[in-house]
Amino acid sequence: MRDVAVVGFAQAPAVRETHGTTNGVEMLVPVFHEVLGNLGLAKSDIEFWCSGSSDYIAGRAFSFIAAVDAIGAFPPINESHVEADAAWACYEAWVKIQTGEVDLALVYGFGKSSAGKLRRVMTMQLDPYTVGPLWPDSVSVAGLQARAGLDQGKWTEQQMADVAVRSRADAKSNPRAQLKGDYSAEDLLAEPYLADPLRKHDCAPITDGAAAVVLAASDRARELSERPAWITGIAHRVDSANLGGRDLTTSPSTVGAARDAGFDKVDVAELHAPFTHQELLLRQELGLNGTRINPSGGVLCGNPMFSAGLIRIGEAARQISSGQADRALAHATSGPALQHNLVCLMEGRD
């Protein structure tokens, strides 16, 4: 296997609504400028580009093609796209580097969630025969999972509120966060239910955003970064599409992906948990006791669809590059109620 590291990361501010198009160009141009500028790279240095986005978020076909304008794709570039969170584009780029064809790749994701009704758009990912036609929305589906854990004593509403409080407090040091500040669990629990058993603080906000990560192989990574975040393992697995056939209080796919990636112990974890109970579930499943969780504030403080998972990889890598951690875990999720999960493990080498 070739050594591959995350050497660069930038993200657009996470905001409730941007005024641009749904093709992401306005958000991506400054992100590319920042991530390439910080590394002293030109776009012509990038040997492979890979993006993650969704036409259902954009409300138009082939929206990722329009986004390529943000790169400047002439002369022609080596490019690919996944209709999934860009964490999966990162996986593809990692594989591409493993083939030996390229040494330097840029991964990006974007989504203007505010253009449509997000919780309804997300219904399109459900079984289109027996579930989708009923139009269950993404918040309700998460509510089914939250209640299952509450009923079984796997977590409490107090613990869920505590997750929101900690996340918003941590986000105070994240200039790109959408929600931040000091709150008390007592106050949050006094709020009414949004979709019983979920309150507003249990749900990630609706966010427009974009992000980019640069991956480099061995010597190229050492040239570009003083302390590259070396990827020691990356893997993803999926659980059944049949919601009622899963135990929603567990996540075998996360556990399997972590095992495949070689997970042992980390200093910090960035978890892609758009609902408070999902962080509690992931912590339990991965056994992350005493591990620093989501120093960025996580997606509860900014959830740009289709780049939020990639941002977990970027944030975890930043913990290593800045010397604050030696070993980090980044997790990304896709599908209803944590159906599909990716784990990326990184380490610093001194």
Partner 1 sequence: MTTLSAPLNVEFDYTRSLGPVLGRFMTGLRDRRIEGIRGDDGRVHVPPVEYDPVTARKLTDWVEVASAGTVQTWAWVPEPDEGQPLTHPFAWALIKLDGADTAMLHAVDVPGPEHMSTGMRVRVRWAAEPVGSIHDIACFEPGEAVETEPTQGEPVTMVTTPVRLGYTHSASSEEARYLNGLLEGRLLGQRCPVCQKVYIPPRGACPTDGVPTVDEVELPDRGTVTTFCIVNVPFLGQRITPPYVAAYVLLDGADIAFQHLILGCDASEVRMGMRVKAAWRPREEWQRSLANIDHFEPSGEPDAPFETYSQHL
Neighbours of 229 (CB within 10 A): 33
Nearest distance, CB of residue 120 and partner 1, angstroms: 6
Nearest distance, CB of residue 39 and partner 1, angstroms: 16
Residue 166 CB contacts under 8 Å (≥ 6 apart), including other chains: 293
25 lines the binding site for partner 1 (CB under 8 A): yes
Nearest distance, CB of residue 197 and partner 1, angstroms: 7
37 lines the binding site for partner 1 (CB under 8 A): no
Neighbours of 32 (CB within 10 A): 21
Contact positions with partner 1 (CB under 8 A) in 280-339: none
Separation of alpha carbons 268 and 288, rounded Å: 9
Q: Which two tokens stand for residue 91?
A: 């996986």
As a whole number of angstroms, the longest Cα–Cα distance in the chain is 58
Nearest distance, CB of residue 127 and partner 1, angstroms: 8
209 lines the binding site for partner 1 (CB under 8 A): no
Taking the least distance from each CB to partner 1, the nearer of 70 and 234 is 70
Long-range contact pairs involving 183-186 (C-beta distance under 8 Å, separation at least 24): 185/158, 185/161
How many residues belong to the site for partner 1 (CB under 8 A)? 59
Residue among 236, 262, 294 nearest 84 (CA): 236
Q: Exposure string (b/e) for 107-118, b if CB count within 10 Å is 16 or more?
A: bbbbbbbbbbeb
186 lines the binding site for partner 1 (CB under 8 A): no
Residue among 140, 124, 132 nearest 55 (CA): 124
Point out which span in 139-147, 209-217, 218-226, 324-332 binds partner 1 (CB under 8 A). 139-147
Q: Which of 41, 148, 216, 268 binds partner 1 (CB under 8 A)?
A: 148
226 lines the binding site for partner 1 (CB under 8 A): no
Nearest distance, CB of residue 264 and partner 1, angstroms: 28
Residue 71 CB contacts under 8 Å (≥ 6 apart), including other chains: 32, 43, 49, 77, 79
Q: Which of 93, 141, 261, 282 binds partner 1 (CB under 8 A)?
A: 141
Taking the least distance from each CB to partner 1, the nearer of 143 and 205 is 143
Taking the least distance from each CB to partner 1, the nearer of 145 and 307 is 145
Taking the least distance from each CB to partner 1, the nearer of 58 and 344 is 58
Point out which span in 1-9, 109-117, 156-164, 268-276 binds partner 1 (CB under 8 A). 109-117
26 lines the binding site for partner 1 (CB under 8 A): yes
How far is CA 18 from each of CA 25, 105, 115, 212, rounded to the nearest angstrom? 12, 27, 9, 18
Taking the least distance from each CB to partner 1, the nearer of 175 and 245 is 245
Nearest distance, CB of residue 245 and partner 1, angstroms: 4
Point out which span in 7-15, 176-184, 189-197, 280-288 binds partner 1 (CB under 8 A). 189-197
Q: Which of 193, 265, 322, 323 binds partner 1 (CB under 8 A)?
A: 193
Q: Which of 1, 40, 74, 182 binds partner 1 (CB under 8 A)?
A: 74
Separation of alpha carbons 6 and 314, rounded Å: 8
Q: Which of 3, 43, 169, 256 binds partner 1 (CB under 8 A)?
A: 43
Sites of contact with partner 1 (CB under 8 A): 19-23, 25-26, 29, 32, 43, 56, 59-60, 68-74, 114-117, 120-121, 124, 128-137, 139-148, 151, 193, 195-198, 240, 242-245, 248
